[in-house]
Structure 1
């Protein structure tokens, strides 16, 4: 499957934080969710993919073309060493990055437009920034989002600022959306409206979305894959269907939890166990198997939020 985004072993060091060889991809026709706590490295990863931050190591390809690290014009093999410049940092392929950015719509977690700008000024920015800019489409989204042309950016709430960014991102017919907390600050009805727009965007299977979000229930509705990052490291990379439709969480007593762990039904290290005040939680990779082996133990569907919590904080057994 053709990857719109391919990231391999991306690294960046700051005082007190290291992005530690992060790898992820966004295949065409797919939505990749990107989750983790505040400060986990999601925004750093996104800005590095977009060339806004220079990594200390790693490779990035957009639309199959190397933009960082990979040999320009070369094969994107997984065992290829980083191409570096004289300083030792991965080489940035500026021309390829410019070409790729023209095909990408971006929403950041904070509105980047000048605070004194009018909504109508933002439309002018898009006209000069993108050769494929569609003024009518921007105005259509502005009306749909109730973004008055004479409103100033500084007057917009966080949620309205997100909507302005989304209108801007969609108005030049991108093939890829990179969205950092696009539904943050929106009420449930507005979030569903945005998700409907993203579903419409994905009716073209040549497109894709990298969607960073703390609202994991949104990802359950739209994402195909989810990548979890914690303290700069990828902790798991999994299909959403495997999490929500196959895995499960058993809430039971200590003796039952011990019996599940010691049963041999599951591979060593594949379970996560967390002891609570009133019950133990056991994350299992196959809830149907657990139900067959332990019919008296209730095993529920697991949400992405609970899956992440148990994978990060539970004891591997």
Structure 2
């Protein structure tokens, strides 16, 4: 089976500003791909290019093996989308939303929707515009999970949630992937969430992919070393992923800790440290 989502050499500029530079990565079936980067790095532009909300300058986007998803109504129904900004009808209650989506989606699962609504402790008689930001995000995720989607595209879906609600939502996302063999592309600034559920991580900076790797491989093989200039010259350039000057020393992310020269100790890493080093790394 092809990847659920294939992005290859996608480019986008607004005027003279280059926003995406040959962005390439995939979302395999059964995976949760974390898309990580600072604000303005190109995440939202990538999402919009995937969904056809903006025109690409170059490259290809294939969803379920098809390039022009707009021509395939049945395939579009298999995509669940949650953006950071709330986009559900503000004047409707959850009960009314259910009736709307019953007509909108042929595969709408009312029982599953109400199970999620109750699991997320959402009030069914309150209008959408009266919900808190956290409740709105949980409602958006409940909708995305209730029409037999195979690919979820989630932009900061856990933003505004307390730790307990985040854990609850993450459990539902993991359950979705394990039961449906679907896939998720998830942007997040919360690295603890990434560590909990991601199978793959993709880091983007200034519109360019810096790292595209399986999460387990990062923790097994990668390392961060603090070294001086002389030690830096001893490193095999092929294993240097990113470096950052820190006073008279360098923080260096390397892809193979077994290839480190003797006398250079590797630190145990966290996703937070990897994220900070990559986003603040030097060219």
5+ unaligned residues in a row in structure 1: which ranges? 68-92
Query: Quick one: which of 248, 268, 272 aligns to 1:301?
Result: 268
- CA contact 1:261–1:271 (8 Å) conserved in 2: no
CA distance in 2, matches of 1:242, 1:205: 25
Stretches of 4+ aligned residues off by more than 4 angstroms: 277-280
RMSD: 2.2
- 1:12 correspondence with 2:46: no
Give, in angstroms, the shift of residue 99 of structure 1. 2.6
- Kindly state the Cα deviation for residue 138 of structure 1 after the two structures are TM-superposed: 0.8
Distance 2:11 2:248 in 1: 41
Change (3 A) 1:271 1:259: farther
Shift of 1:113: 1.1
Residue 58 (structure 2) aligns with: 57
Write out per-residue CA displacement over residues 142-166 of structure 1, whole angstroms, 9 at most, x where no aligned residue: 1111111111111112111110001
> What is the TM-score normalised by the length of structure 2?
0.90
Q: How does 1:161-200 map to 2 (within 5 A)?
A: 161-200=136-175
Residues 215, 149 of structure 1: alpha-carbon distance in 2 compared, 3 angstrom cutoff? same
In structure 2, C-alpha distance between the alignment counterparts of 1:190 and 1:170, rounded to whole Å? 16
SS at match of 2:86: coil
Contact 2:239/2:255 (<8 A) preserved: no
Is residue 207 of structure 2 the alignment partner of residue 232 of structure 1?
yes
State the partner residue of 1:285.
Answer: 255
Q: 2:124 aligns with which of 127, 149, 154?
A: 149
CA–CA distance in structure 1, aligned partners of residues 114 and 96 of structure 2? 12
Change (3 A) 1:125 1:17: farther
May I ask how many residue pairs the two structures share in their alignment? 282
Map 1:22-33 onto structure 2 (within 5 A): 22-33=23-34
Q: 1:261 aligns with which of 221, 232, 244?
A: 232
Partner of 1:273: 243
Q: TM-score, normalised by structure 1?
A: 0.81
Q: Which moved more, 1:303-312 or 1:214-223?
A: 303-312
CA distance in 1, matches of 2:88, 2:126: 13
Runs (5+) with no aligned partner, structure 2: none
Rounded to whole Å, the distance in 2 between the matches of 1:33 and 1:246 is 19
1:95/1:152 Cα in 2 relative to 1: closer, same or farther (>3 Å)?
same
> In the aligned structure 2, how far is the partner of 1:233 from the partner of 1:273?
16
SS in 2 for 1:238: strand
Instruction: Give the superposition deviation at 1:173.
Output: 1.8
Q: Which has the larger Rg?
A: 1
Aligned: 1:127 with 2:102: yes
Tell me how far 1:282 sits from its aligned partner. Answer: 2.8
